[in-house]
Amino acid sequence: MSRRGIPWLARLLVYVGSWLVPRSGRAEWREEWSAELWHEGSARPNARRALLRAALGAPKDALALRRQLPGARAGRTRGNRIFEATTMLNEAGVALRGLARSPGFTLLAILTLALGIGGNAALFTVVDSVLLRPLPYRDAERLVVVSHPLTTQGGVEWNLSPHGFFYIQDQNVVFEDIGVYMTGSANLAAEGAPDRARIAAVSASLLRTLEARATAGRLFEDADNEPGAPAVAVLGHGFWQRRYGGRADVVGTSIRVNGEDVTVVGVLEAGLTLPGETIDVWRPMVLDRSSRPVNSHYLSSIARLKPGTALEAAQQNVTALAGRFVEVLPTAYDETFIREYGFTTRVRPLREKVVGNAATMLWVVFGGVGIVLLVGCANVANLFLVRAEGRVREVAVRSALGATRGRLARHFITESLLVSLAAGALALLLAQTGVRALLALAPSNLPRLSEVALRGSTVVFALTLSVIAGIVFGLFPVARWTEAKRSDALRDGGVRTTASRSRHRVRGSLVVAQVALALVLLAGAGLMLRSFQALRGVEPGYDPAGTLTFDVALPAVNYGTHADASRFWERLLVEVRTLPGVTRAGVISALPLKSAAPCSLFFARDRPLSQREMAPCYETLFVTPELFETLALQVAGRTFRPADVDPPTHVAILSRTLAERTWPGESAIGRAISTWGIVDHEVIGVAEDVRLRRLDEPPTPLVYLPMIPPSEGGQWNPVRSATVVVRTTRVDPTSLTAELRLAVSRVDPEIPIANVETLDEVVAASLSRVSFLTVLLGIAATVALLLGTIGLYGVVAYVVNERRSEIGIRMALGARVGGIVRMFVRQALALTVLGVGLGLVGALGAGRVLRSQLFGVAAGDPITLVLVAAILLGIASIAAWLPARRASRIDPVDTMRV
């Protein structure tokens, strides 16, 4: 064979490849490749295709040679880069034209992938902002919280006491610094009308611990925490911007906080706040080291570990210090208290406190949306498999013309990447909408909600998913390609009566996976729905219909005594009851399902404690006499009367749980309980149980005491912060809001009202966590079920189309319509049953993950599992019946006509 007999295309490939070789070796390289091709052609007569395929290796060999030569820049010459870029652009153009010829496939694949990737990107944005991103503090990983769990009190955890804080601050060897704080609301009179603001009382050491900086003025110093120090404040950056427009001359001005004139000494830097709260005004906490140590734990803490200090070392050091409380603080702690309450000490990362139990909820939702993506990918995979089978002849021809497996993979990966990247771009638009929807649905107590925003990390996440999907789908057409298949495709002309069993097996496996994953999601959503229904069936203990609540706080400067506070509440109730539509009104110190109540020591007077026994601590609520009627809270015995409070008669009402716990099987009415062992209270009534903190918790043992009357002081502080409950005949209770503000201003024009909401809204808020999880899992399950149904329908429809000739022959031989339909439905249901079986196993595992989120239903609830399995089988039957019914209408003559 002469060298002129080498195909011109092969000679062209060698010539183009030679320009990738450095000039010094270019001529020699051309001669070697020409000789190689001549030898190949001489050894294999009439093997033009083999010569062409061999010549395709010339450019690759040229690139490898360039990388090996001294001084070469790894083949990355300008000419090489231009060549590669041109090749990629040409490949992309070919892929785009191919996709344009199949608009239905392209659009369906893009939309399906965009739905899955968009949902995951939206959830990733929330997970990233809440769980993954560092807290907004410098070196946040070194910040920890110190607290005191009470191991015998059912998970109760106390904060630090003032003198416990002093001792740990002075004696520890593991912290750079430690600070304490309290948060709450305050009446604020600055520029504009009086308003309620979030306020924090902090130690100066807390701001040092957080490494806080001032935008203007200064921050607190240790002297500001001393008793008798001047009243000063630091403004939060957001509050400074809202109220003062960011004016620097605010430093040195005076504002009125809870009736006290306070000098503004500084403005805090932007973005710095306390965990879970946005603070408007910061005040120095009064810390008196000379006071008598008491067992009162109301100080939240944050400490900063020294560089290189492990959490375990900090735990050991602080535990040892707390173990000496009995010795160094004998007036506050004794061995009986430590033993009876299981008083221990815990050091944990600040992130753990901030995130709380939200982590489990978010990861569950993220996992659910991830399952939707997998189901969507299975659908798209089936689309690509069907498309690949329709292009068998195309692949065979390309291979015959010399395209290597790598060259084919590049072509198909380019095509699938264009689909997946288009889906990724659409997914980011969907994610932006999804994040807004998630924030609207999210419970208000979800931490770090204000930090949730679409960031570059979400773009990278969506892009990564898109690229992975594109590469995987692009490998489908060549993953199982062999020379034998190429020969078959060329010999048969690309037309086959039935697809190979292996391809049927792949498509069937994808359907089984879709059904299993959809069932897992359906089961999870079903369990959450049953939990939600169980919670909605829990009675809060009172009737929330037709009630409105609002909070009022009295400044200690103007209402420092019991007489002052009581007089305000009495005058306010008189004003409120005169409003049109108001039938009853009462005041409570802490509204159930909304506010926390203080804990007080009580014991039955007729059952005295031993010397080694501690009195139990029960939440205590102070109420006005009309409160029980206003809430429609049933009481056995009687409720409070005006005569009970002036002159005081020391009476109490117990919740049913507490009464039965104290005097099991006996009546509590007429018995006496002792408060702190100082004052005896006669039990005059037993109220129905209420849930104080959450509906999914057991009823809280409660002690109700009347608002302290003017003539009594005793051990109780005046009730200055409380919730007013108003029952009205108005259809919309919130229409009373403006009139209530006027009623409060008539009593004291400097006092605002806050948190106006109906009791129905309070109850709904307590269900927000479960409803959030239920809605999101329900949406994910619905989408997964829809995609799974479409996938099953598509597979059956494809098989029906593929077996048209077989169906025609069967019908020509006398097969009945019902038999044809049953044949395809039976095959589809076999896949569905297998998927349901695998899904039930996965659902049991998912139930264990959800266990902490469930209420009133077992993780493996058989009713839920049977119901979702039946729903899935029913929908699968319909999805299989529709294309199977079409198959029964095939005309045998048409299928056998050549």
Say which residue, 517 or 325, is predicted with more confidence: 325
Question: Of 40-49, 143-152, 872-881, which range is least confident?
Answer: 40-49
Residue 307 has pLDDT above 90, yes or no: yes
Which range among 80-94, 678-692, 707-721, 731-745 has the greatest average pLDDT?
A: 731-745
DSSP label at 718? P
Q: Identify the pLDDT of residue 1.
A: 47
Residue 73 has pLDDT above 50, yes or no: no
Say which residue, 844 or 347, is predicted with more confidence: 347
Could you tell me whether strands 582-588 and 672-675 are parallel, antiparallel, or unpaired per DSSP bridges? unpaired
Confidence of residue 582 (pLDDT cuts 50, 70, 90): very high
Residue 112 has pLDDT above 90, yes or no: no
Q: Count of residues for the chain?
A: 898
pLDDT digits (tens, 9 = 90+) for 438-475: 888 888 777 887 788 888 888 998 888 888 888 888 77
In angstroms, the Cα distances linking 197 to 214, 230, 335, 746 are 20, 21, 42, 21
Q: Are 804 and 527 in contact (CB under 8 A)?
A: no
Q: Identify the pLDDT of residue 233.
A: 95
Confidence of residue 91 (pLDDT cuts 50, 70, 90): low
Confidence of residue 226 (pLDDT cuts 50, 70, 90): very high
Q: Identify the pLDDT of residue 201.
A: 94
Q: Identify the pLDDT of residue 706.
A: 87
Could you tell me whether strands 635-637 and 702-706 are parallel, antiparallel, or unpaired per DSSP bridges? unpaired
Average pLDDT, the chain: 81
Q: Identify the pLDDT of residue 801.
A: 66
Q: Identify the pLDDT of residue 758.
A: 93
Q: Are 563 and 601 in contact (CB under 8 A)?
A: no
At 437, the amino acid letter reads A
Which residue from 414, 379, 495 is spatially nearest to 795, judged by alpha carbons? 379
CB atoms within 10 A of CB 840: 18
510, containing H or E segment: helix 501-536
Question: Of 236-240, 555-559, 863-867, which range is least confident?
Answer: 555-559
**How many angstroms separate the CA atoms of 63 and 86, rounded?**
16
CB atoms within 10 A of CB 106: 20
Question: Of 37-51, 230-244, 448-462, 704-718, which range is least confident?
Answer: 37-51
Say which residue, 79 or 258, is predicted with more confidence: 258
- What ranges make up the beta strands (E) of 41-163? 143-149, 157-158
Say which residue, 798 or 530, is predicted with more confidence: 530
Q: Identify the pLDDT of residue 159.
A: 93
Strand partners, 703: 620, 654
Q: Identify the pLDDT of residue 499.
A: 46
Residues with Cβ within 8 Å of residue 65, at least 6 apart in sequence: 21, 25, 29
Q: Are 691 and 699 in contact (CB under 8 A)?
A: yes
Confidence of residue 494 (pLDDT cuts 50, 70, 90): very low
**How many angstroms separate the CA atoms of 744 and 751, rounded?**
7
Which residue from 121, 108, 119, 106 is spatially nearest to 417, judged by alpha carbons? 106
pLDDT digits (tens, 9 = 90+) for 774-806: 888 888 888 888 877 777 777 777 666 666 666
Strand partners, 118: none
pLDDT digits (tens, 9 = 90+) for 583-636: 999 999 999 988 878 778 788 877 777 766 777 888 899 999 899 999 999 999
pLDDT digits (tens, 9 = 90+) for 35-50: 766 555 555 555 566 6
CB atoms within 10 A of CB 832: 28
Mean pLDDT of 799-822: 68
**How many angstroms separate the CA atoms of 588 and 219, rounded?**
37
Mean pLDDT of 188-210: 86
Residue 675 has which token pair?
């408060």
Q: Are 835 and 516 in contact (CB under 8 A)?
A: yes
Q: Identify the pLDDT of residue 83.
A: 44
Say which residue, 486 or 349, is predicted with more confidence: 349
Residue 602 has which token pair?
């009580």
Residue 779 has which token pair?
């949406």
Q: Are 705 and 621 in contact (CB under 8 A)?
A: yes
**How many angstroms separate the CA atoms of 795 and 89, rounded?**
34
Confidence of residue 710 (pLDDT cuts 50, 70, 90): low
CA-angle at 362, arms to 432 and 510, nearest 5°: 80
Residue 818 has pLDDT above 50, yes or no: yes
**How many angstroms separate the CA atoms of 64 and 58, rounded?**
10
472, containing H or E segment: helix 456-474
**How many angstroms separate the CA atoms of 635 and 685, rounded?**
6
Q: Identify the pLDDT of residue 893.
A: 57
pTM of the predicted model, to two decimals?
0.73
Confidence of residue 502 (pLDDT cuts 50, 70, 90): low
Question: Of 230-244, 397-411, 542-556, which range is least confident?
Answer: 397-411
**How many angstroms separate the CA atoms of 469 and 553, rounded?**
57
Say which residue, 289 or 53, is predicted with more confidence: 289
**How many angstroms separate the CA atoms of 845 and 710, rounded?**
60
Residue 257 has pLDDT above 50, yes or no: yes
Residues with Cβ within 8 Å of residue 489, at least 6 apart in sequence: 392, 393, 395, 396
Q: Are 258 and 280 in contact (CB under 8 A)?
A: no
Q: Identify the pLDDT of residue 483.
A: 45
Could you tell me whether strands 195-202 and 281-284 are parallel, antiparallel, or unpaired per DSSP bridges? parallel
CA-angle at 606, arms to 603 and 611, nearest 5°: 60
Q: Identify the pLDDT of residue 803.
A: 65
DSSP label at 709? P
Q: Identify the pLDDT of residue 371.
A: 85
The rounded percent of the chain whose pLDDT value lies above 70 is 79
Confidence of residue 809 (pLDDT cuts 50, 70, 90): low
Q: Identify the pLDDT of residue 311.
A: 94
pLDDT digits (tens, 9 = 90+) for 882-896: 777 766 666 665 555
pLDDT digits (tens, 9 = 90+) for 637-674: 999 887 776 666 788 999 999 999 999 989 999 998 88
Mean pLDDT of 755-784: 85
Confidence of residue 153 (pLDDT cuts 50, 70, 90): confident
Residue 398 has pLDDT above 70, yes or no: no
CB atoms within 10 A of CB 753: 17
Token pair 């001005």 is found at 253
Q: Are 780 and 368 in contact (CB under 8 A)?
A: yes
Question: Of 49-53, 121-125, 146-150, which range is least confident?
Answer: 49-53
